Amino acid sequence: MQKLETLNGFTKRKSVEVKVGKVGIGGANPVRVQSMTNTDTADVKGTVAQIKELADAGSELVRFTVEKDSMAQAVPAIRKQLVDEGYEDTALIGDFHYNGHILLTKFPSLADSLDKLRINPGNVGFGEKHDANFDAFVKIAIDHHKPVRIGVNGGSLDQQLLKKLIDDDMTKPSLEQIGANQVFLEAMIQSGLLSTQRALDLGMRKDQIIISTKMSGVQEMVYCYSKLAKLTDQPLHLGLTEAGMGDKGIIGSTAALSLLLNQGIGDTIRVSLTPEPGAPRSREVRLSQQVLQSLGLRFFLPQVTACPGCGRTTSVTFQELAKEVTEYLAMQMPKWKSQGYEGVESMHVAVMGCIVNGPGEAKDANIGISLPGSGENPAAPVFEDGKLVKTLQGPGMKNDFKQMVQAYVEKKYGKNKAFVSPAR
């Protein structure tokens, strides 16, 4: 169960629970991690492989594009193969733009094979067709008992609504006008709220609607979600859309998600990172998990506290050990999980560079090592639950420490736990 109180005193915003397949979103559920494929959905084999990669990394929901007949026809086969291979718990989401109502009507088994349908109110047609297409889409979702995400996006905002709000603003006395930028943000929020109300009027239940107002600017996105959170109790899907590549994408997403999550806002998240060519798609899943774990909202993988090193660390031993331990924990985690090692995901390991902060951090971790800095006795004390248990030295130190980590995990989290130490 997710902690409802954060250390800074904020409480998680109350929201309605929406069931997406077997995954609960909102209510008392933890903040869910989701991701999106970048395969051609018509390629069943490739799409199934990537969904499995994302699910194996911990994505509880996976979305994929459905934009043409061949993709719509592939979805039942994708679903069947995933169920046959034991991935029935992963919620599948169809991402529709422009022609969702047509595809869902033409291929009735499409909706049945999905757990949620994403509709973008900015991409359902113009003029009279806008409302008719939106209504047709929502009615199909109702008939097939499927929840929807009303996914507003800054890059495809409903232009009719935006124009109306701009016109309304222009008719106000000049001192009361809020200006084009502010109107744009209000239109994002209104698009989500008005579309939600329209879906409710059509007969959709409150526990079938999730809202998002994704944008590519951190401050703008935070503004929209913060305001939206006060105006609705529908669950909110957070994401900085088109976050970009590398450091920019990671830091922008982290900043935006953290500012909101730390106020208790957000029921499911996606990091929309542009992957490096050849990089695994699942990186976005690990980043979402890291954001949630850094904020103490959920735990996925044991964490390593390591200092940055300085003039006191004259060799690369310390950096190598920090890297090796981090990789070792990631490699072992699936095994520990499959062996039912409960709680190991919240374990805290410290790898520190010298006596200045080393023993303090190492004692504070579940298991920690303080390597010798320059001029120190070449010995590395290891602490378990605050107590000095061994001093390592010599060329085998790195392997010795990893073996101690494995032994600690078995002792503390294994089926035959030898002891239960105080919770950290």
* Nearest distance, CB of residue 377 and ligand SF4, angstroms: 15
Nearer to ligand SF4, 232 or 313 (CB): 313
Considering the complex, state which of residue 285 and residue 352 has its C-beta at the smaller distance from ligand SF4. 352
Closer residue to ligand SF4 in complex, CB, 69/376? 376
* Contact flag: residue 373 with ligand SF4 (CB under 6 A): yes
Give the position of tokens 């410290």. Answer: 350
Give the β-pairing of 61-65 and 303-306: unpaired
Q: Which of 12, 61, 31 is nearest to 299 (CA)?
A: 31
The residue range among 24-32, 46-54, 304-312, 407-415 that interacts with ligand SF4, by the rule CB under 6 A, is 304-312
Q: Judged by CB, which is closer to ligand SF4: 9, or 308? A: 308
Q: Which of 231, 356, 388, 389 contacts ligand SF4 by CB under 6 A?
A: 356
Q: How far is the CB of 310 from ligand SF4 (least distance, A)?
A: 3
Residue closer to ligand SF4 by CB (options 94, 373) is: 373
What is the DSSP track for 302-368? -EEEE----TT--SSHHHHHHHHHHHHHHHHHHHHHHTT-TTGGG-EEEEESSTTTHHHHHHHSSEE
Compute the least distance from the CB of residue 130 to ligand SF4, in Å. Answer: 58
Nearest to 378 by CA among 313, 309, 297, 298: 313
Binding mask 307-326 for ligand SF4 (x = CB under 6 A): xxxx-xx-------------
Name the one range near ligand SF4 by CB under 6 A: 6-14, 122-130, 356-364, 399-407.
356-364
Tell me the residue number closest to ligand SF4, measured at CB.
353
User: Smallest gap, in angstroms, from Cβ of residue 27 to ligand SF4?
Assistant: 43
Spatial CA neighbour of 13 closest among 238, 267, 264: 264
| Position 352 contacts ligand SF4 (CB under 6 A) | yes
3-state secondary structure of 244: strand
- Say if residues 177 and 170 touch (Cβ distance below 8 Å): yes
Which one of residues 177, 216, 274, 357 is an interface residue with ligand SF4 (CB under 6 A)?
A: 357
- Rounded to a whole number of angstroms, the minimum distance from the CB of residue 409 to ligand SF4 is 25
Closest CA to 269 of 303, 302, 294: 294
- What is the pattern of x (binds ligand SF4, CB under 6 A) and - over residues 253-292? ----------------------------------------
Burial category of 278 from C-beta neighbours within 10 Å (exposed 0-12, middle 13-18, buried 19 and up): exposed
3 state SS of 61: strand
Of 64-72, 210-218, 303-311, 332-340, the window that binds ligand SF4 (rule: CB under 6 A) is 303-311
Other CB atoms within 10 Å distance of the CB of residue 400: 16
Name the residue nearer to ligand SF4 (CB basis): 273 or 354: 354
Binding-site size for ligand SF4 (CB under 6 A) equals 13
Cα dihedral across residues 238, 241, 245, 251: positive or negative: negative
The binder of ligand SF4 chosen from 154, 235, 353, 381 (CB under 6 A): 353
Say how far residue 42 (Cα) sits from the centre of its chain.
Answer: 25
For 63, residues 6+ apart whose C-beta sits below 8 A from its C-beta are 34, 35, 36, 37, 92, 93, 94, 95, 118
User: Which residue, 156 or 305, has its beta carbon nearer to ligand SF4?
Assistant: 305
User: In the complex, what is the shortest distance from the CB of residue 86 to ligand SF4, in angstroms, rounded to a whole number?
Assistant: 44
Q: First vs last Cα of the chain: how many Å apart?
A: 17
Whole-number minimum distance, CB 296 to ligand SF4, in Å?
Answer: 23
CA separation for the pair 219, 255 (Å, rounded): 9
Q: Which residue number, 207 or 324, has a Cβ lying nearer to ligand SF4?
A: 324
Residues that bind ligand SF4 (CB under 6 A): 307-310, 312-313, 352-354, 356-358, 373
